[in-house]
Structure 1
Amino acid sequence: MKIFPAIDIKDKKCVRLVKGDFENKTEYEMSPVEQASKYKDHGFKNLHIVDLDGALTGKTVNLDIIEEIVAKFDLKIEIGGGIRNFESIQKYTDTGVEKVILGSAAIKDKNFLKKACEKFQNKIALGLDAKDGYLSVSGWKENSNQLTLDYLKEVNQYGASRLIYTDINRDGMKQSPNFEETTKVADTSNCPVIISGGVSSIDDIKKARELNNNNIEGIIVGKAIYDGDIKLDELAKELDA
């Protein structure tokens, strides 16, 4: 199982939000590039990055930071945050990231998702963020009134190469991911699924592995690393488990 340590970027700093709330954020001393270096030194190969400035503006605000991380470290990076057009996708793929995550734009416009998957084959990851079974959009401020599984069934054939499923109620809360709902998503999805939101301890990594679901590709770990609940040395051991 792949482990994706997370970096959320806001105002050039590493931050973590609680349930996606920009008013409820913690800033950390470490710069995004320093944090990426730390992950690389511990043997991690995958990285999950969210450009929160991008999520707010719809622009590739921190492209320079992403370019620097890609250039310095041999890491497979998935990047998300306000990616709403082909131009932004192209900019990111040109930097050499592994996957570009489409969220709100793909939910609001299924045709955009379809065309993006056709144009950027094997590069598009679909980010589905759900609250009580319904998809949320626009930085989690709006409920789309679409049930997650219904939407997924509609777009399943479009060719997304990865799906990242986040339970918003768990995100930043360190209460363990919603394994039950993620399993339902993985059982429905045509592409591999990443677990996101709520990882609180090494036990959550072990539990994810024990799900023994061939369509669950990996898990994202964020706040628990920054707050010291999960030590990187300890997490790195799980890479070889």
Structure 2
Amino acid sequence: MKIFPAIDIQDKKCVRLVKGDFDNKTEYEMSPVEQAGKYKDHGFKNLHIVDLDGALTGETVNLDIIREIVNKFDLKIEIGGGVRNFESIQKYTDAGVEKVILGSAAIKDKNFLKDACKKFPNKIALGLDAKDGYLSVSGWKEISNELTLDYLKDVNDFGVSRLIYTDINRDGMKQSPNFDETVKVADTSNCPVIISGGVSSIDDIKKAKELNNKNIEGIIVGKAIYDGDIKLEELVKELDA
């Protein structure tokens, strides 16, 4: 089970949002680069980064920070947040990230996702954010009328290399991930799935591993780390256990 500690960047700071609400956020003292170094020092190999400025503007606002993290630490990074064109994907892949996450742009335009997978083989991850079974777009401000599983079936053969499934109702709430829905997604998906949203304690990590679903590749942990509910020392043990 891969564990992806999360860094959400806004105004060059580490922040966490509750249910994706920019008006309901917590800022943390440590810079994104320092935080990445801390994860590296504890033995983590993967990192999940969201550029919240990018999500709002559609630009690669924090590209310099991403470059610095890639260059300083040998971490496998997946990055998302407002990636809406090939130019942004190219900038991130040139910077050395492992996966670029497409969200709203891929949901609104399936052909963009298809073409991106062809142009950047094995580099494209798909971020599916759902609320009550329906996909959400535009920083979770809009709920689409498309069911998550229906959309997934439509794009399943495009060549996406990873899928990140987030239950919005759980994100930032520390109420445990929606394991049942994630398993349904994993059973449908042609590519490995990452669990996201709501991790509250080390028990959630253990439960994810106990699912024993070969198509669930890993889990993202964010707010629970920053708030001290999960200690990095105990979390890293789950990498090898």
CA distance, structure 1, for counterparts of residue 170 and residue 155 of structure 2: 25
**1:57-101 superposed Cα distances (whole Å, 9 cap, x missing partner):** 000000000000000000000000000000000000000000000
CA distance, structure 1, for counterparts of residue 198 and residue 89 of structure 2: 28
**1:44-65 superposed Cα distances (whole Å, 9 cap, x missing partner):** 0000000000000000000000
CA distance, structure 1, for counterparts of residue 224 and residue 5 of structure 2: 10
**1:135-154 superposed Cα distances (whole Å, 9 cap, x missing partner):** 00000000111000000000
CA distance, structure 1, for counterparts of residue 222 and residue 128 of structure 2: 17
> Which residue number in structure 2 is paired with residue 164 of structure 1?
164
CA distance, structure 2, for counterparts of residue 84 and residue 143 of structure 1: 18
What SS does the aligned partner of 1:206 have? helix
Q: What's the CA shift for 1:190?
A: 0.1
Q: What's the CA shift for 1:189?
A: 0.1
**1:100-155 superposed Cα distances (whole Å, 9 cap, x missing partner):** 00000000000000000000000000000000000000000001110000000000
CA distance, structure 1, for counterparts of residue 32 and residue 84 of structure 2: 23
Q: What's the CA shift for 1:191?
A: 0.1
Q: What's the CA shift for 1:235?
A: 0.4
Q: What's the CA shift for 1:211?
A: 0.2
Extract unaligned runs of 5+ from structure 2.
Answer: none
What SS does the aligned partner of 1:125 have? strand
> Which residue number in structure 2 is paired with residue 25 of structure 1?
25
Q: What's the CA shift for 1:237?
A: 0.8
> Which residue number in structure 1 is paired with residue 236 of structure 2?
236
CA distance, structure 2, for counterparts of residue 44 and residue 165 of structure 1: 21
CA distance, structure 2, for counterparts of residue 95 and residue 45 of structure 1: 17
> Which residue number in structure 2 is paired with residue 105 of structure 1?
105
| RMSD, matched Cα | 0.2
CA distance, structure 2, for counterparts of residue 171 and residue 49 of structure 1: 15
Within a 5 Å distance, the mapping from 1:208-219 to structure 2 comes to 208-219=208-219
TM-score normalised according to structure 1 size: 1.00
What SS does the aligned partner of 1:111 have? helix
> Which residue number in structure 2 is paired with residue 67 of structure 1?
67
**1:180-221 superposed Cα distances (whole Å, 9 cap, x missing partner):** 000000000000000000000000000000000000000000
- Tell me which stretches of 4 or more aligned residues in structure 1 moved more than 3 Å: none
**1:161-195 superposed Cα distances (whole Å, 9 cap, x missing partner):** 00000000000000000000000000000000000
CA distance, structure 1, for counterparts of residue 204 and residue 144 of structure 2: 29
What SS does the aligned partner of 2:240 have? coil
**1:17-64 superposed Cα distances (whole Å, 9 cap, x missing partner):** 000000000000000000000000000000000000000000000000
